[in-house]
Amino acid sequence: DAGVIQSPRHEVTEMGQEVTLRCKPISGHDYLFWYRQTMMRGLELLIYFNNNVPIDDSGMPEDRFSAKMPNASFSTLKIQPSEPRDSAVYFCATTLAGVSDTQYFGPGTRLTVL
Amino acid sequence: AQTVTQSQPEMSVQEAETVTLSCTYDTSESDYYLFWYKQPPSRQMILVIRQEAYKQQNATENRFSVNFQKAAKSFSLKISDSQLGDAAMYFCAYSIGGNYQLIWGAGTKLIIKP
């Protein structure tokens, strides 16, 4: 298996622009998590899905952030409009319920908002 | 509150020696899983080892082993024969069985001296 795939790996944008981060989970995994990692706040859970349905989005910092999972093979995290404080590494992770509780992470997207 | 504490922000060890990273956690649940993840400079989050709370036997993966003390809520990671490639941030985490969300520690930076 190719593992969790994220794109792009790096994104540099200007304040006010829309940013879309993408994630392809491991085939068959039914839970998908979006995290944000910064030096100041460490690793934060933003939102997670089970069988494509958002279960808990209480970690989403504000309305500028939205996430979707239109099917079992694809999820997006969108920031609109972006701000410099959104600069961080964004991770997608997936797991298969009832097997091992282990989350497998993608390589992350490093976002820089100028 | 569910928390994970890694009391050592940074550790250093001579190559080929053994090092132990500490982790304590707080939960009232009886069914949970414990994890150590490694994050090298490439920023990829890699699973090192996992432990089911119901298992008394400590998990081992090659040079990596844990000392799981359930009553003390302690879950330390021992790395034997340290190698330069072990240099990374190490995160301790746990999840409640069936919940799949991970509660994370702040991380320990491990430096390997050649």
DSSP characters over A83-104: -GGG-EEEEEEEE-TTTT---E
Subunit contact A42:B43, Cβ cutoff 8 A? no
Helix (H, G, I), strand (E, B) or coil at B85: helix
pLDDT in tens, A42-80: 899 999 999 999 999 999 988 999 999 999 999 999 999
Determine the residue among B42, B94, B100, B109 to mutate to test chain A binding: the one whose Cβ has the most chain A Cβ atoms within 10 Å: B100
Burial class (CB in 10 A: 0-12, 13-18, 19+), A14: exposed
pLDDT in tens, B22-78: 999 998 888 899 999 999 999 999 999 999 999 889 999 999 999 999 999 999 999
Chain A CB contacts of B43 below 8 Å: 89, 107-108, 110
Subunit contact B45:A105, Cβ cutoff 8 A? yes
Mean pLDDT of A31-40: 94
Averaged confidence pLDDT in chain A = 94
Q: Is the peptide bond before B114 cis (omega within 30 degrees of 0)?
A: no
- Return the pLDDT at A1: 64
Rounded to whole angstroms, the Cα distance separating B54 from A35 reads: 28
Which residues, other chains included, contact B110 with Cβ-Cβ below 8 Å and sequence gap of 6+?
Answer: B10, B11, B12, B13, B19, B21, B79, B86, B87, B88, B89, B90
Chain A CB contacts of B50 below 8 Å: 100-102
Determine the residue among A100, A101, A105, A110 to mutate to test chain B binding: the one whose Cβ has the most chain B Cβ atoms within 10 Å: A101
